Amino acid sequence: MSVYARFKRSPEGFRALVELLESTPLSRRQKMIDVGMQEDAEYTEKALQYVMTFEDIVELPDLQLAEVAALAPPRTTAFAFHEVSEDQKTRLLLNSQPRVRAEIKEYLEVAVGPREIAGAQLKLVETARTLERRGLVRIKKIP
């Protein structure tokens, strides 16, 4: 039985595969993609078109970025944005609610390792996907 068989059987399987790829750390995600390309390259490529990345979140319009910042814990948001440009950090802060903005500022000054940053970015993608399901974020909507 193929790895993707369970995703292909279910009506919600395609969404489940895309969300699984989004929430998997990059090293493991690449292994999943490699296996998927061997099994069914067309299905894998289609799923990859809808995979949301942290870079997609950084590029969201201001109101949608504000929605993500409002829903995600400030610590997670700050850690995820820890290594982006100062302009992008400023944009995030300008689009955050005042209470959340103060917390994010504090966490941005904390020393954070690459592992924490990567984990926070995955969590922020999950938050954005939750908002996409609710129709509040319009990015890479899964059919």
The pLDDT assigned to 143 comes to 78
Q: Where are the domains of the chain?
A: 5-50, 54-134
**pLDDT above 60 for 48:** yes
Q: Over range 45-61, report the average pLDDT.
A: 95
Reduce the DSSP state of residue 2 to 3 states and report it.
Answer: coil
**Tokens encoding 101:** 């903005």
The pLDDT assigned to 83 comes to 94
**Domain 54-134 in CATH 3.30.460.80:** no
Map tokens 């009506």 to a residue.
11
- pTM for the structure as a whole: 0.88
Q: Over range 73-82, report the average pLDDT.
A: 97
The pLDDT assigned to 124 comes to 96
Q: Over range 66-75, report the average pLDDT.
A: 96
Helix, strand, coil percent values for the chain (each to nearest 5): 75, 0, 25
Answer for the pair 65, 92: CB distance below 8 angstroms, yes or no: yes
**pLDDT above 80 for 114:** yes
Indicate the angle between helix axes 62-71 and 114-134, nearest 10 degrees: 110
Alpha carbons 119 and 115: distance in angstroms, whole number = 6
Q: What is the average pLDDT value for the chain, to the nearest integer?
A: 92
**pLDDT above 80 for 3:** no
The pLDDT tens digits for 122-137 are: 999 999 999 999 999 9
Answer for the pair 43, 36: CB distance below 8 angstroms, yes or no: yes
